[in-house]
Amino acid sequence: MPDVIGEYGGYALLVLSALAAAVGIVAQTVAARRTEQRDAVDPGILVRLATDRVYLFGFGSQVLAFLARATLPLYIVQAGSSSAVGLAAVIGLVVLGWRVSGREIAALGVLAVGLLLLVGAAESSVAAPMPPALGFGLLAALLAVVALAFPAARIPGAPGAVAMGALAGVAFAVLALCGRPLAAGPLLELPLQPLAWLMVASALVGQALLAAALQRSSTTVAAASMDATTVVLASVLGVTVLGDQIAAGRGWWVAAGLTLVVAAVVAMAVVGRPSREQLPAPVAGVAA
């Protein structure tokens, strides 16, 4: 799989995944707000959203990032994916009439600089095998996320969106860490890998929590809290445990790049707040 994709193929997949994820965030926002909001952990939200083709597109558009992890370190893949929150704001401006302020544009500029630093420091490599202890640790982390989701679900408004988004970010960090060694293939053997089932479980948990976060506040608040959490956790563990490579002498590029990316997505959450009137109205006939 890595030989087929190659380094440049990995970057192409990453760019496509960021664009698709941006469309997916907007699609998931539209779909999540069409379904009923409940002040409790609601696994049934995925069942209801599964009947919404818009949401399914948003979910499926994120598969490309998995393939990019076959050759690229997690710090560049997750940072690239996090740029989707900014791209989603632009798509929302064009398609749904969201307002994009000068401060949001400035945040996008900071995000771009951070991504350039990470691209300059990245070295293509296949991940080291997942240590069993880390696999059990990731399982424990996912179970902790599920447990913490119950009190977080009772927090209303933007604080609840941040809490649910951050928990979704932990779940997606588990997904990213599982996916890094699995993406190298062989893909046909994925159903036989326990790590693949943990990846699927983390995807379902993360999607349910992200959908709940999107119901509570703006897209940028929910997505930024999720992305900031995922980028930091996945990047640090990718380098320290899975053997992600950094170009010689450019470790500080990665540190600076990650700092700028996280700062930018957090800034998008602070300044990017489309008003409630701009949000799509419920659509009759959609399951709730």
| pLDDT, position 213 | 83
Residues of the chain with pLDDT under 50: 1, 3-4, 274-288
- Distance between CA atoms of residues 231 and 213, nearest Å: 18
Give the other-Cβ count within 10 Å of 37's Cβ: 15
With CA atoms as reference, report the closest residue to 180 among 196, 166, 204.
196
Q: What is the pLDDT of residues 211-261, one digit of tens each?
A: 888 777 666 677 778 888 998 899 999 888 888 889 888 999 999 999 998
The pTM of the full predicted model, rounded to 2 decimals, is 0.76
| pLDDT, position 167 | 95
| pLDDT, position 255 | 93
β-sheet bridge partners, residue 246: 122
240 Cβ neighbours under 8 A, 6+ residues apart: none
Q: What is the pLDDT of residues 143-154, one digit of tens each?
A: 999 999 999 888
Give the other-Cβ count within 10 Å of 47's Cβ: 12
